[in-house]
């Protein structure tokens, strides 16, 4: 009898590119916080659809905060630097 147990695992990832405007929209969306977003969603649209995905939504919001929003901050800083050099807003 073997003492090794094989457990197959499949991981699927997707790469998504966002425009600056889309990053701003994501910033606005996650800015309310997970609980506030879910509360509003549940009040307006009900729990039936989103409840099974609540933990996934929280993970998505966390990923947006840690991965996407730093990129948006960099974009904003670059815009400030360009404005400072050129004296005009890019």
Distance (Å, whole) CA 27 – CA 61 = 10
pLDDT attached to residue 86: 84
| Cβ atoms of 61 and 37 closer than 8 Å | yes
**66 falls within a domain:** yes
pTM score, whole prediction = 0.70
| Cβ atoms of 19 and 72 closer than 8 Å | no
- Number of domains comprising the chain: 1
pLDDT per position as a tens digit, 25-78 = 999 999 999 999 999 999 999 999 899 999 999 999 999 999 889 999 999 999
| Cβ atoms of 61 and 30 closer than 8 Å | yes
**82 falls within a domain:** yes
In this model, does residue 90 exceed pLDDT 80?
Answer: no
pLDDT attached to residue 89: 65
In this model, does residue 1 exceed pLDDT 90?
Answer: no
**74 falls within a domain:** yes
């Amino acid at each position: 009898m073997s003492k090794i147990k094989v457990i197959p695992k499949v991981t699927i990832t997707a790469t998504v590119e966002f425009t600056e405007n889309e990053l701003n929209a994501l910033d606005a969306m996650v800015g309310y916080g997970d609980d506030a977003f879910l509360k509003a969603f549940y009040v307006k649209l009900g729990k039936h659809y989103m409840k099974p995905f609540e933990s996934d939504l929280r993970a998505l919001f966390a990923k947006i905060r840690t991965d996407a929003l730093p990129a948006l901050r960099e974009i904003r800083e670059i815009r400030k630097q360009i404005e400072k050099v050129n004296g005009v807003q890019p």
